[in-house]
Amino acid sequence: MTTSRRTDEYQSFQYLTEGSDYKHYDLASELDRVPPTDVPLTDAEQELVDRLTREFVLVSMHDHPNRFPDDISQTPSYVKDGHISTAYEGLAHSSWDCVFDNLLDGICTIESSSGWKWTEVLHDIGMRLCDIAHQDFVVPATSVADILEARDRGTVAWVATLEGAAPIENELDRLDILYGFGVRSIGVTYNEANYLGCGLREKNDSGLTNFGRRAIRRMNQLGMLVDCSHCGDQTTLDSIAASQKPIVLSHIGARALWNTNRMAPDNVLQACADKGGVIGVEAAPHTTLTASHPTHDIESVMEHFEYIVDLVGIEHVGFGADTTYGDHVGIHQLYAAAFTFDELDPTQEDQSPPDFEHVDYVKGLENPTESSHNIVRWLVKHGYSDDKIEKVMGANALRVLNEVWV
């Protein structure tokens, strides 16, 4: 474990009185909730990893670097209280220089039962920004210059991101408002359809709507990154065609390896790369599995990584591990209606994914801290050159941000 980069021991909302200003919850450990797993290295390989993490800018394209209750069943109450703790200690022990924080997203049920309401999203963003403003280790970033400056100071650049555009409803100017709040990337859809297009759970993907095209044009004008990780295939292809700038699939895998709607088919991955975009490989529990690695761990995730690299080229691949600090599997179980997605045509046996072993956590990539160390370790262990590691760990993402952000 790396040494903490923090100069203080700030904990979320310590400027308030716990118990009277907000409800107390025993939160999950940021460093040892489960036994840590390190990719084994020789001394020489470890020296190389240490050097690379010092020299390169490491960017997580998609994560949820906040803390959940140790008793995960308390999460709905914790969410409704609206005081979501940022994992400052975990980030301080990570190697990430920049983290795209996707906030509560699908479980943003502060005021409603279904979530994604405009006022809930603003509450989530505003409360997190308020907490972050009371410390100086995690720094909001709205430009590439902010990311590089944060790295030079030894701090972590924090980018506010939304996984789906449902909260804007049919109000185009809400994109401008979110931009004003610091949001620099938005998913066109989450799992369900919205005013912009179809999510991956829809049986009939009719593609991007006219309003969706207008929204993407506005995002291009604002300098906001378009993300299609949870879109249906046709909606993704339409979004790529509609955007004047590269788009990203910030957290996804290859459907050729694991045949579910949550993964992308080759033609979608290739279209994203052809537009100059970047594909972030994810590690949320029970997603990036493979037939040869049906137990979800770092090896199954990296099999997706290598497949996508072989398909589209090293210049178009990165990592968006989609991890958090707490029982991620338990969160999925609590919010099954929001997170479950349908498999591809289950009536056809040859199209169904093989059986897999359910895990309590993804070994080797359990949270943002562990993923930041083990991905680099795995790449070094498997002989990737310095320049290739630099690209996938952050340079590819920065290239797209330089093209998209203003």
* pLDDT tens figures, 370-401: 999 999 999 999 999 999 999 999 999 999 99
Domain count, the chain: 1
pLDDT for the residue 353? 62
Predicted confidence (pLDDT) at residue 291 exceeds the cutoff of 50: yes
Rounded Cα gap, residues 116 and 98, in angstroms? 25
Per DSSP, the residues of 233-253 read HHHHHHHHHH-SS--EEEEE-
Query: Would residue 22 count as lying in a domain?
Result: no
Structural domain boundaries, residue 128 = 58-404
Residue % of the chain over a pLDDT of 70 = 96
User: In 3D, which of 390, 361, 360, 396 has the Cα closest to residue 375?
Assistant: 390
pLDDT for the residue 151? 97
pTM above 0.85, yes or no: yes
Predicted confidence (pLDDT) at residue 344 exceeds the cutoff of 50: no
Rounded Cα gap, residues 274 and 271, in angstroms? 5
User: In 3D, which of 2, 13, 219 has the Cα closest to residue 97?
Assistant: 2
pLDDT for the residue 336? 84
Query: Would residue 317 count as lying in a domain?
Result: yes
* pLDDT tens figures, 32-57: 999 999 999 999 999 999 999 999 99
How many C-beta atoms lie closer than 10 Å to residue 314's C-beta?
16
Residue with tokens 């931009």: 179
Query: Would residue 354 count as lying in a domain?
Result: yes
Query: Would residue 48 count as lying in a domain?
Result: no
Contacts of 374 (CB under 8 A, 6+ apart): 37, 38, 39, 298, 364, 365
Dihedral of alpha carbons 356, 75, 187, 226, sign: negative
Q: Which one is predicted more confidently, 2 or 4?
A: 4
* pLDDT tens figures, 201-217: 999 999 999 999 999 99
Query: Would residue 215 count as lying in a domain?
Result: yes
pLDDT for the residue 268? 98
Tokens read off for 146: 């902010």
* pLDDT tens figures, 106-160: 899 999 999 999 999 999 999 999 999 999 999 999 999 999 999 999 999 999 9
Query: Would residue 4 count as lying in a domain?
Result: no
Rounded Cα gap, residues 18 and 26, in angstroms? 12
Mean pLDDT of the chain: 95
Query: Would residue 233 count as lying in a domain?
Result: yes
Predicted confidence (pLDDT) at residue 19 exceeds the cutoff of 50: yes
What would the mean pLDDT of 184-203 be, rounded to a whole number?
A: 96
Written as one letter, the residue type at 265 is P
Please answer whether residues 212 and 164 qualify as being in contact, where contact means their C-beta atoms are separated by less than 8 angstroms: no
Predicted confidence (pLDDT) at residue 1 exceeds the cutoff of 60: no
Residue 290 DSSP one-character state: -
CATH of the domain at 77: 3.20.20.140
3-state secondary structure of 99: strand
* Model confidence band, residue 343 (pLDDT cutoffs 50, 70, 90): very low
Query: Would residue 190 count as lying in a domain?
Result: yes
pLDDT for the residue 165? 98
